[in-house]
Amino acid sequence: MTTITIIGLGLIGGSLAVDLKSQLNITVIGVDQSIKHCNLAQELHLVDQVMSLDVGIQAADIVIIAIPVDQIESLLPKVLTQVKDQTIVLDVGSTKTAICAAVKDHPKRNQYVAAHPLAGTEYSGPQAAMRGLFYGKKNIICDRELSDQRAIETTQKLFNSLGMQSYFQSSESHDKHLAYVSHLSHITSFTLGLTVLDIMQDESQILNLASTGFESTVRLAKSSPQTWSPILSKNREHLSVAIGQYIEHLNTFKQALDQDDRDQTVSLMLKANAIKKLLNKSEQI
Amino acid sequence: MTTITIIGLGLIGGSLAVDLKSQLNITVIGVDQSIKHCNLAQELHLVDQVMSLDVGIQAADIVIIAIPVDQIESLLPKVLTQVKDQTIVLDVGSTKTAICAAVKDHPKRNQYVAAHPLAGTEYSGPQAAMRGLFYGKKNIICDRELSDQRAIETTQKLFNSLGMQSYFQSSESHDKHLAYVSHLSHITSFTLGLTVLDIMQDESQILNLASTGFESTVRLAKSSPQTWSPILSKNREHLSVAIGQYIEHLNTFKQALDQDDRDQTVSLMLKANAIKKLLNKSEQI
């Protein structure tokens, strides 16, 4: 019987818990500093048991840390220090460089695997946890050469059992890429939300007109600041460059509209259309 | 038996056709300047018959014009001139001010209804037509006071029969609002696509990391330039103001990130979160 202790019972931790708990030979222990989250996780049957942090860590064959990224950075070294010699520790944070740097010289660095399962919704908390959230999605493992081969293999098997395939990348490269394909999308959604809310103050009718296109584009603006503020802060250097490039493209678009340069707007849209092929390619991976 | 002639057999015209054709007592005639579209519309059983423009107009009790908005503007006055005195003419374009201006002084203005069913996908052409596209969505009717009461009632019944509810607005107000809740979303999606495609030229691995959040935010970047270039051009004045406001909000966000001002990023995200309530409210309407 493998015992997995999950620290943090929000959307990601809770969804991992409920899918892992349904597997044979796995006991899932939940840990959360919020009593409310602990109670909810038990009521919703996300975990087998709830324990205190220290007891949960001692009982674990595998520890998964699923809390905001700045808290992972401070908790991870302590967890590594406390775990047994055979225990594997994973985190599932959305930024990886600072977290990996925090345990770079830790004597048990080889027991730690830096993971990032690419799944989520705009909701948060144990009540947002859902079965099958990870199915068919990708998992990224960073800096594999710093982890034991056994730890890497166990991590791959664990994510395979959720229906995920794992890919390898350096933590620096991960953070740079995520700035573009995840964090920038959040910024553009939040900004769209702010812009539309502003105009609505004067124009109460406006949301009668919200279509499915708008809802899709603004969806991420519902995301939790508690989760996203640390992510955006940790990745602010890459993200700032990405936003700068985005503003340049946006100004080019605006200028073409202002000059009613239809050849230029068509050319920009045709270029952007190429995202189709890449998304399809990505779906096939 | 009511005969409805639909001019333009793309995503919108084709989807209207296939749903209307399934109703008792309606014959749907399709008109399209593309032979390929006409053949596809017949192969896909979207319409009962295909006819030439002049014959289709003469046969119609109701004409629905579903072509790019700049083409509506030039075709609509000619159609109105040609139709019988009892025939009602609708267009379903995404911008309304210029189209309404084009028939402002037309002697048959009262037979025309300016409509905009708020539905669509990022795909185009007859092959993108789908049953039920309009079900549960909203339809906007502009400048109702310029149309005959009979024409307004017939239009409402027609959209009701597709599962839509109609709302009334002036064409100017419609275009201003749509700049924010539809056209701006398209611009931000196209721009996100361009930014990510640019960085990908050097970073071939990047799309391995595209998540469902990114896919949702970039979805509209797949939209057809043929449809969207005229819409953005016709609404460029409102849209330019909206983009300007969006860039201001984005710069505020970027500055908060650059200064690592977490209080400010949290405050911006919390403000943007209010879009939740408004989207829910809009869903209830």
- Radius of gyration in angstroms for the set of CA atoms belonging to chain B, rounded to a whole number: 21
**Inter-chain residue contact B207 with A181, CB threshold 8 Å:** yes
Partners of residue A190 in chain B, C-beta under 8 Å: 253, 268-269, 272
- Judge if B188 and B249 occupy the same domain: yes
CATH number at residue A210: 1.10.3660.10
Tell me the two tokens of residue A166.
């794992």
pLDDT at B207: 63
Residues with Cβ within 8 Å of B158's Cβ and at least 6 positions away in sequence, in order, are B20, B62, B90
pLDDT at A157: 97
**Inter-chain residue contact A253 with B187, CB threshold 8 Å:** yes
- Judge if A97 and A128 occupy the same domain: yes
ipTM computed for the complex: 0.89
**Inter-chain residue contact B257 with A236, CB threshold 8 Å:** yes
Amino acid (one-letter) located at B134: F
Nearest residue of chain A to residue B254 (CA atoms) = A240
Average pLDDT for runs of 10 along chain B of length 285: 97 97 94 97 97 98 97 98 97 98 98 96 94 95 98 98 95 94 95 92 71 89 94 97 97 97 97 86 45
Tell me the two tokens of residue B220.
């509209």
- Judge if A161 and A210 occupy the same domain: no
pLDDT at A201: 75
Nearest residue of chain B to residue A121 (CA atoms) = B213
User: Which of B138, B141, B205, B229 to mutate against chain A (most A CBs within 10 Å)?
Assistant: B229
- Judge if A39 and A142 occupy the same domain: yes
SS3 B19: helix
Nearest to A188 among B173, B217, B251 (CB): B217
CATH number at residue A60: 3.40.50.720
- Judge if A148 and A259 occupy the same domain: no
Tell me the two tokens of residue B43.
């192969």
Q: Tell me how far apart the alpha carbons of residues B205 and A93 are, in angstroms, rounded to a whole number.
A: 20
Partners of residue B262 in chain A, C-beta under 8 Å: 229, 233
pLDDT at A167: 94
Of A139, A170, A201, which residue sits at a domain end? A170
Instruction: Give the closest-approach CA distance of B84 to chain A in angstroms.
Output: 33
Answer yes or no: are the C-beta atoms of A250 and B243 closer than 8 Å: yes
- Judge if B178 and B154 occupy the same domain: no
- Judge if B231 and B140 occupy the same domain: no
Partners of residue A220 in chain B, C-beta under 8 Å: 213, 216-217
Of A170, A194, A213, which residue sits at a domain end? A170
Tell me the two tokens of residue A280.
């399809």
- Radius of gyration in angstroms for the set of CA atoms belonging to chain A, rounded to a whole number: 21
**Inter-chain residue contact A214 with B185, CB threshold 8 Å:** yes
Of A121, A143, A170, which residue sits at a domain end? A170
**pLDDT string in tens for chain A (285-residue length):** 999 999 999 999 999 999 999 998 999 999 999 999 999 999 999 999 999 999 999 999 999 999 999 999 999 999 999 999 999 999 999 999 999 999 999 999 999 999 999 999 989 999 999 999 999 999 999 999 999 999 999 999 999 999 999 999 999 999 999 999 999 999 999 999 999 999 877 676 666 777 788 999 999 999 999 999 999 999 999 999 999 999 999 999 999 999 999 999 999 999 999 998 877 654 433
Nearest to B196 among A137, A181, A187 (CB): A181
- Judge if A187 and A163 occupy the same domain: no
In sequence order, what are the beta bridge partners of A165? A138
- Judge if B207 and B273 occupy the same domain: yes
pLDDT at A281: 57
What backbone phi and psi angles, to 5 degrees, belong to B97? -60, -50
Count helices and strands in chain B by DSSP H and E runs: 13, 8
**Inter-chain residue contact A191 with B229, CB threshold 8 Å:** no
Q: Tell me how far apart the alpha carbons of residues B36 and B11 are, in angstroms, rounded to a whole number.
A: 14
Instruction: Give the closest-approach CA distance of A50 to chain B in angstroms.
Output: 30
Local structure of residue A118 (DSSP, 8 states): -
Q: Tell me how far apart the alpha carbons of residues B31 and B9 are, in angstroms, rounded to a whole number.
A: 7
* Total number of domains in chain B: 2
Q: What is the extent of the structural domain holding B246?
A: 174-284
Q: Quick one: CA dihedral B158, B163, B166, B171, positive or negative?
A: negative
SS3 B129: coil
- Judge if A194 and A120 occupy the same domain: no
Q: Tell me how far apart the alpha carbons of residues B119 and B260 are, in angstroms, rounded to a whole number.
A: 40
- Judge if B44 and B21 occupy the same domain: yes
What backbone phi and psi angles, to 5 degrees, belong to A196? -70, -40
**Inter-chain residue contact B197 with A244, CB threshold 8 Å:** no
Q: How many beta carbons lie within 10 A of that of residue A35, not counting itself? A: 9
- Judge if B182 and B98 occupy the same domain: no
Answer yes or no: are the C-beta atoms of B9 and B30 closer than 8 Å: yes
Q: Tell me how far apart the alpha carbons of residues A129 and A117 are, in angstroms, rounded to a whole number.
A: 15
Amino acid (one-letter) located at A166: S
